[in-house]
Chain A
Amino acid sequence: MAELRGSHGDQPNHILTRWFGTPDLHKLEVYSSKAGGYTALRKALVDMAPADITNEVKTSGLRGRGGAGFATGVKWGFINRDAPGPKYVVINADESEPGTSKDRYILENSPHLLVEGILIAAYAVGANQAWVYIRGEYDEPYRMLHEAIEEARAKGYVGPKPLGKDYPLDIRLYRGHGAYICGEETALLESLEGKRAQPRSRPPFPAVKGAWGRPTLLNNVETLCTVPWIVNNGGAAYAKLGTEKSPGTRLMSVSGNVRNPGVYEVELGQTFRHVIMELAGGPPEGRRVKVFWPGGSSAPVLPESMLDTHTDMEALAAARSMGGSGGVIVMDDSHCVVRAAHRLLKFYAHESCGKCTPCRIGQDWAVRTYERILAGEGSQVELDILQRVSDGLQNGRCLCGLGDSGGWVIDSTLRHFREEYEDHALRHECNVGKVMASA
C-alpha cells in the first residue's frame, strides 16, 4: 500500500482521488465493489456509441495533463475511426519531469482507474491495442499496473470480448530506458518502436502517423484516469468544475521547501497561495517562499510576489508561465536562484537527445557559461550569452519542447532575479551563499 501523501477521501473537489485510501483499492474486487469501478467501462461499451464518448469528453473540456494542455476530446476526434488497418492508444506513463509524481500517485493507489480509462479511450477511437510506456525507474507502479491488467484480463475486461461486447481490447506494458526525452510523445514512439529515442518532426502528428506509422492516440495517465468519471457523470458535470477554459481538477505534486510535500488534487482556478501555503503547509518555520515552478521544472519560474496567480492555464499563460505537468517546486529564501538554474540546465544538457542543433549545443553552452559565472569569472558578456542562448532555444527553434524548457529556465530566472545574476556575474558574490550551507 502506497504512502498516502496527498489528497484522498470524500471532498467536493476530489474526482480522481475520491477513493484513494480505501484499503486494497488496487485490487479489482475492491475497486469494483467499493469505488464503483468499471461501471464507466460498462456504460461506454454497452450503452454508448464511440462517437458519444468522444463527444462527452469534448463537452467536458478536459485538457491533457501531460504538459501541453491540449483539448483531449479534440485530440480523440483527430483519429479517423473508420480508416482501415490498426490504430493504437499509447499511454505516456514516462513521468520524468522533475518535481512531478502525480502519475505515480495514481498508479500506486488505483491502477485500475488507468486500466478502465485506457479501455474506454481505445473503444472510443477505434483501437484494439494499447501500450503503456512506463518510466523504467517505476518498479512499484509497473508491478501494480501489471497486476491490475492481469486481473482485468482474468475478468475478461481485457480480452477478445470485454463485457460480452465483440470488440477485442488488449493492453501491454513497455518499460522505458531511463531518458527524460522518452516523455516527449514522438521520442516515446521511437523508443517504443525500439529505436533511438529522438523526437520526430511534426507534422505528421501521431494521430495521423504514430506508432509504427499508424494513427495513434497518445494521452497522459492522469488524462485517461479522468475519463471514467466523465463517462459516469457526464461531460457537462465536469465542465462545471474549474474555470471556463480550464475545467476540472488536476493533481499537483508539491515538492521542495514545504512542510507537507505531496500530491494534491486542486480545482483549477485556485491560487498557488492556496496550493503552497495551505495544502502543502508553506515553507519551513522562519522562511519565505522565494520562487516556485508552477508546472514542473520546465515551466518558467514565478517569484513569491506572484503566489496569487491562479492555477488555470490561461492565468499561467498571462503570467508568462504554464501549467505543464502540475509539478509545483517551491524554493525558499535560503537558496540561490543562479545555482538552481545552473543545476537545472545541467539536467537539460544531460538529457538533450542531441538531434537538433540548438538544444544539443545551446544547453551545453549555457551550462559552461553558468560554470564561469559561479566560479567568479563572470562579466556582462556571460549575462549576454545567457540571454542569447536562451533566445536561441525558445520559440520553435528546437525540434521539441526540451530545448524550450532549458531556455525558459534561463529566461524566467533572469527576468525575475536579474539582481541575483548580477551579484554573481558582475560583483562575484552570492548574497544567499552563507545560508546555503544550512539549507
Chain B
Amino acid sequence: MNWRQIYLVLKREYLTRVKSKGFIWATVLVPVGFAAFIGIGVFISIWESDVALQIGVQDETGQVIRLLEQVNEQRYIDYSDIDSDSLRVLVQQDAITGFILITEENISGGKNPELIHSGSGGMEFILSVESDFRQVLREEKLRRADVSEEIQRIYDARISLDTRRLTREGEEQDDDTFFLSIVGFILGIIIFISIFSYGGYITRGVIEEKTNRIVEVIASSVKPIELLTGKMAGVGLLAITQFGVWILAFFGLSAIAGPAALHFMGSSSSPMGAEMAASEAEIPAFLNLPTLEVSLIVYFIIFFILGYLLYSSLFAAVGSAADSETDTQQLMLPITAPIMIAYFIMFHAWRNPDSTLSVIGSLVPFFSPILMVTRIAITEVPFWQIGLSIILMILTFAATMWISSKIYKVGILSYGSTATFKDLLRWIKQS
C-alpha cells in the first residue's frame, strides 16, 4: 500500500463530490429544514390559542355557562337570551363557530350535550370543547350532589405515572425514556438511510469509472486495493463532513431556538401577547427537551463509521461486478437484505431494547450499526456488549474488505456483462 496514491485518490473522490451541487444542497437543506421545523413549531405555539373560535351557549340552567366562562372566557359566550333559530343564523354567517344548548337533561339526565357548528376549528377544537364540557358538567353534578370538598378534590385530581430512572451508579435521574426511544429510533433510521446513500455513492462511483473506461488508465498507476481504499476513505470523509455540518447545525439551532422562541413570543403583537408573555413565558414544550449525552453521539459516530466501512467495501464490489447502474439490483440483494432485516428488528428493539432478539441482533455485525445505536440511546447497554459488537464488526470488516478487494480487482477490468454470483466466487478463488 502506497499512502501517497491512496491520498491522491481520496482527495479526488472527496473534492469532486464535496463541490457538487447535489451534495451542497443536501448539506444545507437538512439544517434549513430543521430550522423551518422549529420555526413552524414556535409559530404554531404563538398563534394556536389566538384563533377566536367562539361558541354560543344557550343555557337553560344558568349554571353551566358561568362555569364555562371560568374555563375559557374567550370561547364561550352566553347567548341564553337568543333562540336557537337565531343562533343557527349566526353560525351560518360565521359570526360564531357553533352553539350548544344546555338543558337540565344534560346535567341530571346524563344526556350528552350537542354541538352544532360550521366545521371550522377541526379535531383539536372539538376535542377541547369536549374536554371543557366533561369537566364543567362533572363539576356541576358534584356541586349538586353536595359532596364534600375532599371528594371534589379527589375527582379533580389527575393521576399520571411519574418515573425516575435509577442508574447502576446509584444515581436517580429524570426519566426520559419516551424521548430517548424516539432519539434511538431516529438515530437507527439515520444510519439505515446513510449506509444506503453513501454506499450508493460508492457503487455509482465504481460503475462510473468502469463505464467511462478510465479505470484501466488508473489501474496502470494505482493498485486496485489502493484505489478501493482511497475511494472508501474519500466518501467516508464526505459522510463525516456532512454529519459534522448537520450535528453542529442541530446543536446550534437547538441552543438558539429556545431563547429565540421566547423572544418572539414576548414581543408578539397578537391580541393575547401581553398576557401570554406574562403568564406563559416559558419555552414551548416541544423545544424543552432533555439534553443528549455526549457518549451517545460518540457511539453513534463510532457505529456509523464501522457500519459504513463494513458495507461500503461490499457496495464497491457490487459496482465493480456490474456493467451498468441498472444491472446492480440482483447483486445488491446480499447487501440490502441484512440492512433491511436490521431495520425491521429495530421496530421491535425500539420498544423492547433489552429483549433477547434485540440483544442478539445488536451483536450481529451486519445489524449492529443500526440496532446497537438504537439500544444505546434507549437503555443502558452493558459495556461488554458494546465492546463485543465493536470487535466483531472490526473482524467482519476485515473479512468483507478481503473478499471485496478480490472481487473489485477482477471486476473493474471485466467489461461487457454483469457478473453472476458464480463468477464472483471464481474471481475470489482466482486472485
Question: Do A and B actually bind?
Answer: no
Enumerate chain A interface residues (CB-CB to B < 8 A).
none
